[in-house]
Structure 1
Amino acid sequence: MAESHPEAVTFPSGRPGPFDPPASLGALREERPVAPMVYPDGRMGWLVTGYSAVRSVLADPRFSARRELLNVPVPFPMMREMRRPADPGMFIRMDPPDHTRYRRLLTAQFTVRRMKQLEPRVQEIAEERLTAMEKAGPPQDLVREFALPIPSLVICELLGVSYADRAEFQGATAVLVNLESAPEDIQAAIVRVGAFFADLIARKRAEPADDLLSGLVESGELTDEELSNIGFLLLAAGHETTANMLGLGTFALLRHPEQLAALRADPSLIDNAVEELLRYLSIIHIGPVRAALADVELEGQLIRAGEVVTVSVPAANRDPSRFADPERLDITRPATGHVTFGHGVHQCLGQQLARVEMRIAFPMLFDRFPGLRLAVPAEEVRTRDTMSVYGVRALPVSW
């Protein structure tokens, strides 16, 4: 355990509004972009908030993603059980060469051709959801009717999972990403997911199809346990992140009508708008977390081998040294360079798919419902503060 530090901070909490990170993150970034931090279990580590320092940590192989070395900056009931090596296939909690092996196999499946082929299907799915919303009439929960079904359907089709099974994995995922879930609920969700994927992988071996999981099965390089864990990782990440971007992004545009008007006036701004929403909203609001494998000097601070470092994506994405006037949502700004998808070897594998879904879904939503508006006062929209991926729990809308 690192020795205590008189100026140690705790992980900031308390958002001033639904789109803004805790104000103390910005103050820390300006004063101490690499600050000593006490973790909930009393161990000392570090919080990194400056853009350049965050990128340095994520790109430096001396910082490990291995699960057994890490800590969590917020209270989590399963922390002790988490401190063991990642199960086979859980590559996001591994370092090279193990991580490299899995990543190589998956990159071969996430081809540009396959992502391009998905565009017409994303359009079809979005059209189906919008038609269903229109037919049912207002008000509707945009999360349930639009933001969640689109990425869920897409990732199900990409992996070769029946969409009829979505309730099974969405329910389990909701438990696993909720930082307040009871340990027994987490264990039960893990068992359910394991049984679901064991059955699915057996079917893929018996009857392979033209989908990503079948491709991994046919590679012959992975065990059933590895396939099951990779399948769950991709399924959970593939619907959780984009669903929250679509829901929270719509909320943000409705609350910034001048930005929505600019997008309507110039649809070619959609690529910029997606990148700016990714930067501004920073839905990965807790971590990533890394552990130093050696002594590393980072912006004048000595981080000793074994110490755990939490980087703040929201703080880095609002660093004025990288983004001018960063507290303002501005869809005309070139917001590339944000760290919402991470950086380095662990950069998000599905980021191009997420971009495709957002570039298609946002314009279609606002074209279909030019009068889209919140159906409740903005302060009544409940956010996902206790979830590892930030967003809105529901977004009641009318038109």
Structure 2
Amino acid sequence: MDLFEYNRSLQGGKEAPLAARMRPSCLEDFVGQEHIVGKGKLLYRAIQSDRLSSVIFYGPPGTGKTTLAKIIANTTKSKFCQINATTAGIKEIKETVEDAKAELGMYGKKTILFIDEIHRFNKSQQDALLPHVEDGTLILIGATTENPYFEVNKALVSRSIVFELRQLEDRDIKRLLERALTDEKNGMGVYHARMDADAMDFLANTANGDARAALNALELAVLTTEPQTDKTIHITLEEAQECIQKRALNYDRDGDNHYDTISAFIKSMRGSDPDAALYYLAKMIYAGEDPKFIARRVVICASEDVGNADPHALQVAVSAMQAVNFIGMPEGRIPLAQAVTYVACAPKSNAAYLGIDKALSDVRNIRIRTVPPHLKDSHYSGAKELEHGVGYKYAHDYPGHYVKQQYLPDELVGTVYYAMTENGVERRMQEHLRRLKGE
């Protein structure tokens, strides 16, 4: 290290972003995540006793995953190594493993390996880790914003304890902002800044549980606001709004929250809650979700969950999908909202959906010998000689356009696929069939 590098290393702390400078070094200063690091909780006990096993921290950005790893680094007697999955490869893993084996063999010292964004490791890289996690050469700490049950090697997940970190509450964000405003060593205390209550409320709420976003906005507000005559800095709601102009949504179209949101959206329509359905629709629109993707889900829900209880639901949903394709966004939000609320408020039936799945299961699993002879095609010469179509009764020749005859194959006579509900139009359909059959 030369003189210039040394000077840069001394200045690095002050040059780092506020969020990095304010990162706590002990559990006592850690804010939020009481469900996993509250006193007496498993992770709290493991860190305090320095008896950590392999763990994966999973949660949205700015919730404390890296901070927890740094706290472990500060408190453990084990050797602590860190690599980032976006830049490291198998070579770095092998070097770390060799160093870990040497530490264990020479000093009896364990090695904790922290891998940030572990979901970015490919299969071969994750496989390279596995034997060394299994034999205890490495204690793994993985951090990921993606669901590890989908994105991380199943064998690695099974050998680790997964801790889910949640979005921070507004009160937690405000604690961090207040601490940063007054901390003269690492925070913005030397600027003698104060923030109006409504400005702090706005930052805490708009950060949407992301401490990093809130602290970055605070730093920007302090550094760009002109000092008053008494050399203090006064941050109003207006300054706060300028520094974090759009609510930070935890939504990635390829990520876990994408699937959680669409799942909640569909379940809200299915559960007949138009208000919740509109909320999740708005969340997806705001986050930039493809409106065609949303429209397709509404069409599926209209058929799967409403079905013949209200056949118009499918027409409304398909019309909304066509309208979105025709007019685009942002106006496309209006037909989407109309279709979503119609489907949510419509009577529900999944009878058609269950019926086709049951029929498909029978087609796959039951050997059906033949179509009943009287239903076979008879529009060719020689059909009568084969007795194809013989005995078929044309329904329109009978009163009510109905006549009783066998339609299912012999092996399935009596099987019910379409078990109608008593909801909406299906009730009338059931009554109609009962009248026809004289039941």
**TM-score, normalising length from structure 2?**
0.22
**TM-score, normalising length from structure 1?**
0.24
Larger Rg: 2
